[in-house]
Chain A
């Protein structure tokens, strides 16, 4: 087992990793930017090293600084948390070259899953269903028509070099296809410098379902159930829960097995999350994989009764999956609300000093946070203040516990999205489990009412 681990992250996830290390008897080294000198992860770690000025690129994303800190502190391993360097294959390689264990999968696997095109192709080859679409770039009208015949309408034409919702065109009828194809190519050339587009079936009212997986370094992989993360705003998750209200046991088992088989083929190890979209007909499609621990991992921890972060560390140290996680029995229902330092109606970021901070508790309530009274939410990083997670015998109990917990969570001095979460929980469609990825848009469009 490792003697010392450096946590290459900040905020609540740094604390989360810190506590897992403590439980395993591992000494901890925190790194921090000058904006975080009073942060809890710095105070609670055994050692702390300042690695740069406030900006992430100069500090938490600065590979030489992080590795240098790992060297002078003489650590055995680095846990990258989520975000920052956690899915940076170069960083994982530098760790290896410096004889420091990177807690995560191998650099090759990180790289493969990071290239979304390649991940899709490899997972399709390994047997996972992917959204029907073109085989890469669509070079001409003939191919466009051929693909449209195969996948049907509505479909979406996407710029290969695009992103952020730009360079996409929805096509609903055959008549629109070729004109849209030409326009899409022209726009793409203009906006991104390349006319390359690809095509995909459009899933209009998707639900976002993701599977938690865990693998060891001996070729063993398991899944730990799914999380429903459909409630998103601008592609940022706001609320997550497990199990999904629309997945039955048979589908879960079948998809879980397919995922495990596919990941075994590519040699996946450590924790990871396979993201899928579910169409209105119930069909699931692979969209991408995140090769790290996720923000919403507590949801799975509550229903599967597994410590995912400790498990990550243990498999990274070479332990076998069977020894780390026995047979999993899922119990009850869990919900997580991401409480951000944002205006709950305008969503404008609200960094600043917290003047009052009271955290709810009681049975089935968990709070993961690095915030504290008189502490500061700096403007340089993400706006997550706390993750509030509740667990209940069933979804109804998890909901009512969350409502009570939200009422009892006092944060003053900054704006938070607690009022938004209260509105979500009170919404009849949410309570009925009836929503798609446009739910939050609709809810927030009626803000103030």
Chain B
């Protein structure tokens, strides 16, 4: 099932950039090699294929295609809420992914001229403010629930986020 690229300015028909033959090959490849999940990214096209597990209530197989903003011909401002896929990479490395608990606009700094709350590579403590998500004119501080090193930042400053959207990947202290 294709996950839509969402754009506030509303580009019309999107070029999917996915070759059905390509997807069929990938599915066959997965079958032959007994794979449960397969992820592929190249030139702004990101394909993730995942077999539904026995207990899950999702259609089989699940194909999710996420587009980088570059695919839109029309000017895009601001960029659409991003895909949830980066979190998968983070999970592979046992990173703790901080997800947005609310819908709103993500700000990396307390104010436009100030320094960002945190930087990639920096250390955070439990309870430390990672970012602000503005919703209905209220600035909500998002705090870290783990201590460790910030390994990934998934959202750009000023971009909208939805519930559950990955914000940061943190390598918890004590883990390699």
Contact = CB atoms under 8 A, between A and B. Distances in A.
A360 B136 CA distance: 45
A374 B59 contact: yes
Classify the interface of chain B: helix, strand, loop or mixed. loop
B164 A34 contact: yes
A64 B102 contact: yes
Interface size class of B (residues with CB under 8 A): 20 to 34
Contact of A50 (B57, B135, B164): B164
Given A50-B164, A69-B162, A27 B135 contact: no
A374 B56 CA distance: 12
A245 interface: no
B23 interface: no
A280 B47 CA distance: 65
Interface in A337-385: 352-353, 374-376
Given A38-B1, A68-B103, A46 B10 contact: yes
A49 B57 contact: no
B6 A68 contact: no
B165 interface: yes
A67 B102 CA distance: 11
A74 interface: yes
A73 interface: yes
A27 B8 CA distance: 10
Contact of A47 (B4, B58, B135): B4
B81 interface: yes
A227 to B, nearest CB: 35
Nearest to B12: A46
Contacts of A69: 103, 162
A71 interface: yes
Given A68-B104, A72-B105, A50 B165 contact: yes
A278 B21 CA distance: 63
Contact of B1 (A43, A53, A72): A43
B163 interface: yes
Interface size class of A (residues with CB under 8 A): 20 to 34
A68 B101 CA distance: 12
Count chain B CB atoms within 10 A of each CB in A48, A72, A73 and give the residue with the most: A72
B14 to A, nearest CB: 10
A49 B104 contact: no
B104 to A, nearest CB: 5
A49 B103 CA distance: 8
A59 B162 CA distance: 12
A64 B57 contact: no
B169 interface: no
A51 interface: yes
B160 interface: yes
A99 to B, nearest CB: 12
B8 A74 contact: yes
Contacts of B104: 68, 71-72
Given A64-B102, A72-B105, A51 B163 contact: yes
Interface in B98-119: 102-105
A27 B105 CA distance: 21
A106 interface: no
A68 B136 contact: yes
Count chain A CB atoms within 10 A of each CB in B1, B10, B57, B58 and give the residue with the most: B57
Nearest to A75: B8
A73 B10 CA distance: 10
Interface of A: 4, 27, 34, 38, 43, 45-53, 59, 64-65, 67-69, 71-74, 98, 352-353, 374-376
5 contacts: A34-B163, A47-B10, A67-B136, A72-B103, A73-B6
Given A68-B103, A72-B103, 18 more contacts: A4-B10, A43-B4, A45-B4, A46-B4, A46-B10, A47-B4, A47-B10, A48-B4, A49-B103, A50-B162, A50-B164, A50-B165, A59-B163, A68-B104, A69-B103, A74-B8, A98-B136, A353-B57
